[in-house]
Amino acid sequence: MTPNLFSDLAFPLDDEQVDLLHAAPGLKIERIVSSGQASPPGFWYDQPQDEWVVVLAGAARLRLEGEADARLMRAGDHVFLPAHRRHRVDWTDPDQPTIWLAVHSGAVS
């Protein structure tokens, strides 16, 4: 059976669903499913590894430190976040699943 990124989706969720799809030295690939979740007030991700993330379905607002406005991200939109680029999720669509694919590389834990 071939795995599918759009299967096994529970919606809505109290917490984001994070599924590890692949891991190797220096590499981690995750599927993240959001249903209205956002980063807590004042919280910023500050990760020791690079991250490339793409929205496969749904919508979100991603805020990067130092940018005046959050980026509206819809299906197909992607961004590269170098290690220690502080960022946060301001909003994800509460009415449909927001499905992210996150590729972490470098100092992956």
For the chain, what percentages of helix, strand and coil (3-state, to nearest 5) are there? 0, 50, 50
Sheet holding 49-57, edge to edge: 17-24, 27-34, 98-106, 49-57, 78-81
Dihedral (CA of 90, 93, 94, 99) sign: negative
Nearest alpha-carbon partner for 16 in 31, 34, 30, 29 = 34
| CATH, range 17-106 | 2.60.120.10
Q: Are 61 and 74 spatial neighbours (Cβ–Cβ below 8 Å)?
A: no
Sorted by where each begins, the domain ranges of the chain are 17-106
Q: Are 48 and 81 spatial neighbours (Cβ–Cβ below 8 Å)?
A: no
pLDDT in tens, 43-83: 999 999 999 999 999 999 999 999 999 999 999 999 999 99
Question: H or E segment at 73?
Answer: strand 71-74
What pLDDT is stored for residue 107 in this prediction? 72
Nearest alpha-carbon partner for 100 in 63, 53, 62 = 53
pLDDT in tens, 2-59: 889 998 888 888 899 999 999 999 999 999 999 999 999 999 999 999 999 999 999 9
